[in-house]
């Protein structure tokens, strides 16, 4: 039997990823939004929304997917949250409707038209502490779930601007909130 050197142990003989190649992205394909840390991102077929941590509070930048690259990128900004924006989600039924949640304990629903003009449709003050997750219902239009640090998970009908259901005393920090494939149930990871 042949003795193996330490160098031969570190190098595998055959790669498991034989046909995987990396490709650098050209600068014309970047979304250069300036300085700041991105906290949450959401993309739909028309637009991209990025929550940016800035000293003055919450900021969401919105860009069209067709306007990429430096110099000619159209950006719209949402600055109405007083706290950092924790989550952003596009409505699966309407590519122009965005939900945002924030440390200011609000959930806001926005309409962004194709010219990137922003209009606030609804503000929910259901929670008393930071709202860190929002999730649209995948099969029922205008139904939104929100989870907060106050221990409440709320299901909200944004068309009628009313709370459908509230789960109280769920004090563990929710990391993820998703609907099950049949959409009758949702689950929370903590």
**Does the pLDDT value for residue 109 go beyond 90?**
yes
Give the pLDDT of residue 47. 92
Question: What does the alpha-carbon distance between residue 73 and residue 30 come to, in Å, rounded to a whole number?
Answer: 10
In this structure, is residue 4 part of a structural domain?
A: no
Span 124-170, pLDDT tens digits: 888 889 998 999 998 889 999 998 888 888 899 999 989 998 888 77
In this structure, is residue 86 part of a structural domain?
A: yes
In this structure, is residue 151 part of a structural domain?
A: yes
Question: What does the alpha-carbon distance between residue 190 and residue 2 come to, in Å, rounded to a whole number?
Answer: 51
DSSP H helical segments within the chain, as ranges? 6-10
**What domain count does the chain have?**
1
**Does the pLDDT value for residue 187 go beyond 80?**
no
Question: What does the alpha-carbon distance between residue 164 and residue 156 come to, in Å, rounded to a whole number?
Answer: 5
The mean per-residue pLDDT over the stretch 98-110 comes to: 94
C-alpha count within 13 angstroms, C-beta hemisphere, residue 175: 2
Distances (CA, A) of 78 to 23, 24, 46: 33, 31, 17
Give the pLDDT of residue 110. 96
The CATH number of whichever domain residue 137 belongs to comes to 2.130.10.10
pTM: 0.78
**Does the pLDDT value for residue 1 go beyond 60?**
no
Question: What does the alpha-carbon distance between residue 120 and residue 23 come to, in Å, rounded to a whole number?
Answer: 39
Domain that holds residue 176: 21-189
Span 40-85, pLDDT tens digits: 899 999 999 998 877 777 889 898 888 766 566 778 888 888 888 9
In this structure, is residue 10 part of a structural domain?
A: no
């Amino acid at each position: 039997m042949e003795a193996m050197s330490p160098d031969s142990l570190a190098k595998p003989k055959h790669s498991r990823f034989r046909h995987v190649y990396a490709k650098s992205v050209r600068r014309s394909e970047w979304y250069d939004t300036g300085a700041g840390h991105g906290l949450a991102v959401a993309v739909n077929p028309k637009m991209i929304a990025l929550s940016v941590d800035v000293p003055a509070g919450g900021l969401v930048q919105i860009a069209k997917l067709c306007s990429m690259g430096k110099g000619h990128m159209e950006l719209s900004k949402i600055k109405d949250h007083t706290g950092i924006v924790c989550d952003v989600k596009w409505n699966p039924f309407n590519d122009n409707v965005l939900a945002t949640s924030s440390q200011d304990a609000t959930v806001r629903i926005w309409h962004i038209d194709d010219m990137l003009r922003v209009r606030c449709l609804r503000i929910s003050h259901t929670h008393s502490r930071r709202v860190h997750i929002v999730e649209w219902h995948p099969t029922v239009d205008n139904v939104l779930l929100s989870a907060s640090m106050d221990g409440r998970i709320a299901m909200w009908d944004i068309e009628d601007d009313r709370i459908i259901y509230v789960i109280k005393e769920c004090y563990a920090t929710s990391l993820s909130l998703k609907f099950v494939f049949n959409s009758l149930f949702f689950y929370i990871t903590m």
